[in-house]
């Protein structure tokens, strides 16, 4: 079965489930396998696929059998399905076997198979071609979740933020800030789904108090990306012979210009990153475009180029410059790109960068708070120093309500030094801090505490704890 004709049909409980740890490539492998099932498939049946079809469907390239095996190696795992009462953890596959002759046998678990082949009610159906175009696993999941509600009367689907992250398999420590979640997942996925699939979605966020806690996706059908139209295009392309295309209608054949005149210049299809292959490695435009398509995203291609250039520079320094740079580079990139795609390293690098950015932002906030705290302390210290030297200090204290100031609500700083101040006050004046008089406060602030001739110097030194406490408590006076 051709990819353009493949239809994915899933029970809605599978659509809303959590696919734990699946990369974009693995998600496409799973959905392509599902698209090949039929209502006649029985539980326990072993389903046979052509490896070439799966390689084409995932964009790994027709010769990357090893990378396909790496991608499927850890796919024999489970899915969490939300039930009416509780959660069911069901394995997807029992076994995956690679055979001589280019075929692969996949055996679905008997408990998950009914959700795929017996979905008669509450199911979602779409052409696999829609998700083959997508370049992010989040885009695939958001497409499926919205496609499920495409024909709903309300025209939208709403999620709590935490529930949406659960469905997208986003760990709790990632995208803690809504702005990061919006930038890293929502905006890019919504744009890609709208541009490349048969539905158009926009979203709206809602607040609970000051915090955004839910998202509403508005879903409409669009015909400009209908896979059926792509099918007719595919049929037309296949009918090219001797530079002539015949339409599917009963009208006479339409003669078109020669292929080389009708085709778009391959260089025009290259992105800025794709053009680096022309500039840095002198590759032909056709080869560059092929590698660009293999990489799926500019991020993956740029990552592969940067890693390869580092190795190439090291070889050149050692005197091992390749004779044919373009061909040598092409081979190296064809080998590395599928490995990068199947490993999910791009997403990991992006998540790492976001975490580093968040850590840097938090550190900046911390340093700013420390700086502001230090400036306030210096300002308080200067004002207090001038206050203690005021010639009318005793008069100011006697006219103030010292007791009310000392028993008012204490900050954390004041509470920490209170126990030391209390001890010094008892030794100097034989009373608690809250009960000292204006005269006694004056003696403390002007360093004139006198207990007796032998102890006066000792009290002057120790009274600094009491003086520090008074600085915080009496700050409204200066």
Domain annotation covers residue 138: no
Q: What is the CATH number of the domain that holds 110?
A: 1.10.10.10
Same domain, 64 and 126: yes
* Residue 33 within a domain: yes
Could you tell me if 334 and 400 lie in one domain?
A: no
Determine, yes or no, domain membership for 185: no
Q: 348 in a domain, yes or no?
A: no
Domain identity same for 435 and 319: no
Asked if the structure places residue 403 within a domain, the reply is yes
Reading the chain (478 residues) residue by residue, the pLDDT tens digits are 566 667 887 777 777 776 666 788 888 888 888 877 776 677 777 778 888 888 888 887 777 777 777 777 767 666 666 666 677 777 778 888 888 778 888 888 877 777 676 554 567 888 888 888 888 889 999 999 999 888 777 778 999 998 899 888 888 778 888 888 998 899 999 999 999 999 999 999 998 888 898 999 999 888 654 544 444 333 333 333 333 333 333 333 333 333 333 335 778 888 999 898 988 888 898 889 888 888 888 888 999 999 898 888 888 888 888 888 888 888 889 888 888 887 788 878 888 888 888 889 889 899 999 899 889 888 888 988 888 888 888 888 888 888 888 888 677 777 878 888 888 888 778 888 888 888 888 888 887 776 544 445 445 556 788 888 888 888 888 8
249 in a structural domain: no
Task: Check whether residue 407 and residue 324 sit in a common domain.
Answer: no
How far apart are alpha carbons 376 and 87 in whole angstroms?
54
Domain count for the chain, please give it: 3
Which of 132, 166, 199 is the last residue in one of the domains? 132
Residues 18 and 109 in one domain: yes
Residues paired with 219 in a beta bridge = 201
379 within 8 A of 334, measured Cβ to Cβ: no
User: Structure pTM?
Assistant: 0.44
Structural domain harbouring 429 = 389-477
In a domain, 305, yes or no: yes
**Do residues 404 and 467 share a domain?**
yes
Q: Are residues 326 and 432 in the same domain?
A: no
In this structure, are 8 and 74 located in the same domain? yes
| Pair 19, 125 in one domain | yes
Same domain assignment for residues 331 and 416? no
Last residue of a domain, one of 132, 160, 189: 132
Q: Are residues 3 and 128 in the same domain?
A: yes
Domain stop point among 132, 166, 193: 132
45 shares its domain with 124 = yes
């Amino acid at each position: 079965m051709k990819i353009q004709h493949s239809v994915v049909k899933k029970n809605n409980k599978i659509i809303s489930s959590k696919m734990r740890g699946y990369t974009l490539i693995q998600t496409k492998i799973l959905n392509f396998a599902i698209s090949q099932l039929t209502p006649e498939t029985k539980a326990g049946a072993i389903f046979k696929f052509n490896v070439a079809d799966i390689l084409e469907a995932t964009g790994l390239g027709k010769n990357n059998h090893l990378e396909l095996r790496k991608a499927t190696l850890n796919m024999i795992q489970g899915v969490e399905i939300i039930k009416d009462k509780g959660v069911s953890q069901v394995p997807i596959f029992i076994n995956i076997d690679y055979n001589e002759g280019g075929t692969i046998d996949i055996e679905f678990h008997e408990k998950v198979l009914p959700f795929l082949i017996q979905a008669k009610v509450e199911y979602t159906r779409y052409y696999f071609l829609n998700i083959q175009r997508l370049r992010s696993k989040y885009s695939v999941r958001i497409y499926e979740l919205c496609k499920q509600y495409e024909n709903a009367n309300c025209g939208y689907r709403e999620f709590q933020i935490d529930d949406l992250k659960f469905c997208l398999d986003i760990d709790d420590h990632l995208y803690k800030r809504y702005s990061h979640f919006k930038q890293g997942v929502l905006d890019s996925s919504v744009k890609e789904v709208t541009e490349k699939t048969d539905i158009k979605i926009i979203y709206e966020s809602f607040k609970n108090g000051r915090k955004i806690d839910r998202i509403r996706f508005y879903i409409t059908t669009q015909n400009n990306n209908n896979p059926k139209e792509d099918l007719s295009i595919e049929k037309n392309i296949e009918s090219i012979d001797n530079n002539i295309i015949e339409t599917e209608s009963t009208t006479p054949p339409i003669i078109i210009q020669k292929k080389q005149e009708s085709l778009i210049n391959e260089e025009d299809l290259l992105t800025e990153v794709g053009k680096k292959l022309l500039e840095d490695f002198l590759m032909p435009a056709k080869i560059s475009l092929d590698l660009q398509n293999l990489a799926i995203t500019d991020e993956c291609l740029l990552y592969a180029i940067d890693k390869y250039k580092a190795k190439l520079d090291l070889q050149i320094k050692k005197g091992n410059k390749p004779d044919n740079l373009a061909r040598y580079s092409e081979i190296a990139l064809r080998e590395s790109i599928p490995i990068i795609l199947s490993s999910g390293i791009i997403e990991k690098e992006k998540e790492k960068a976001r975490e580093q950015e968040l850590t840097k932002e938090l550190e900046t906030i911390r340093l700013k708070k420390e700086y502001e705290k230090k400036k306030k302390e210096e300002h308080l210290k200067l004002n207090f120093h001038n206050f203690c030297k005021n010639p009318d200090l005793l008069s100011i204290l006697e006219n103030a309500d010292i007791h009310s100031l000392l028993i008012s609500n204490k900050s954390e700083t004041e509470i920490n030094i209170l126990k030391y101040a209390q001890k010094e006050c008892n030794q100097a004046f034989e009373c608690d801090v809250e009960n000292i008089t204006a005269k006694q406060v004056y003696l403390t602030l002007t360093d004139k505490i006198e207990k007796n001739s032998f102890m006066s110097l000792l009290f002057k030194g120790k009274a600094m704890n009491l003086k520090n406490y008074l600085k915080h408590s009496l700050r409204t006076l200066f």
